[in-house]
Structure 1
């Protein structure tokens, strides 16, 4: 079995115009639905690479109040076939620097975009398999962690074996464990959750710190934070993503997850 290869992209829109991320996500999800029936990849004017092997498995609007810049979109792309599949197709469009690379239907809509190539690790769920299963969630928890050089795989294994069972008891489902490629200092995890399970985790954590006496405490939650520091070497952040209507892993396209 080949390693799953993904691309995570964070897109900012300026000046602050709340309609721009909606226009972008609507455009993106529409044309990627059309690509599902394509037989061969093609470099097209205005939309760059068109391919069913470069699969938009997640399209999200970032919940700004959780720490994102306001009006931000996040997309997760699955390179079907791994390095020799969708990744090769994306790389091939740079051969010769074709002028179609510089033409886009969304020119001037985005302010900036930051892409990170991701490699799935052992035990990671495949987002495409979750979508095929019909799984979807109200929200997704997105974690980016800077780890000690070389510690990403160990950190992600600890997340899988130690943290995932705890969060599962609080209604969170693991949706991806990823090493950020071409560097050795960053890891990304993705979890599906309901709003109620998100709030329950926050309150159980507060209770474990003695800051909420109305709900049961879960001491394992702050204990994990301590455990994670065995691997971390810089910023660690969790933020929340809302799946865009009509996209894969959104509730209107699947069944409610637990």
Structure 2
């Protein structure tokens, strides 16, 4: 057994041209669907499309729901490195061994304005995305959390998420998809949850009711208790946003 290794990338598009994220999502999902036909371990650095590999698996391609606090416009992608460090991650690194001209993604020149990547290591108890896909799981909406924790507190925070927060959110229609320690730093975590619009709205109203701001639904004070508990581990920005899966990506409903 080895820990799951993933890559999360946030891509922004400026100036505000709504066609660019659509073109990028179409391009990305189409060429990665072709890679599913490759053999395990087979990989090649190609002109214009970077590395072709089944083991660098695009499991999620999401359009960021801007009204929840994302920059507009934005795409978030989640990649599963099959085989962990010695599998898909090694293949990613090998494209930087001698910087060749086919490393550069000419097919998407001028589409992206900026991109920021986070390498992720699955925390103990985190679901394996491959297992969820084998199950046929997909959600119409995903809750994306990024948080800065005290140095060294990442795995402690994620253990608390799984022990205390996940059961509460499950009662509110949220399923934990991934619980990740950001690699090459000791101050950042990412979690991803599958949900839907009704569950999202019900959760927000239950929290408001616990604050005394909504008398039309039952209050769930555990939502407030979790935020107090979370502050024991946090030391910087914490944010949750919503993501909508692009049709055709593996975590999108079919």
- Separation in 1 of the partners of 2:142 and 2:105? 32
1:231 is matched with which residue? Answer: 233
CA RMSD of aligned residues (A): 0.6
Asked whether 1:27 is paired with 2:21, we answer no
The 1:205/1:45 distance shift into structure 2, 3 A limit, reads same
SS at match of 2:107: coil
Unaligned runs of 5+ residues in structure 2 are none
Counterparts of 2:244 and 2:104, CA distance in 1: 30
Number of aligned residues: 252
Secondary structure, counterpart of 1:105 in structure 2: helix
Whole-angstrom CA distance in 1 between matches of 2:213 and 2:149: 29
User: Deviation digits for residues 143-182 of structure 1, max 9, x if unmatched?
Assistant: 0010000000000000000000000001100000000000
* CA distance in 1 between partners of 2:72 and 2:121 (Å): 28
Q: How far did 1:131 drift? A: 1.5
What stretches of structure 1 move > 3 A for 4+ residues in a row? none
CA contact (8 A) 1:125 1:175 kept: yes
TM normalised by structure 2 equals 0.98
Q: Structure 1, residues 186-224: CA drift from partner, whole Å, max 9, x if none? A: 000000001100000000000000000000000000110
**TM-score, normalised on structure 1?**
0.97
Q: Is the 8 A contact 1:178 1:189 kept in 2?
A: yes
Q: Could you tell me which of 136, 139, 164 is aligned with 2:138?
A: 136
Contact 1:48 1:104 in 2 (8 A): no
Matches within 5 A, 1:158-197: 158-197=160-199
- Kindly report which structure 2 residues correspond to 1:14-163, keeping only aligned pairs within 5 A, or say none: 14-39=14-39, 40-163=42-165
- 2:253 aligned to which of 247, 251, 254: 251
Q: Secondary structure of the residue that 1:211 maps to in structure 2? A: coil
Structure 1 stretches of 5 or more lacking a match? 253-258
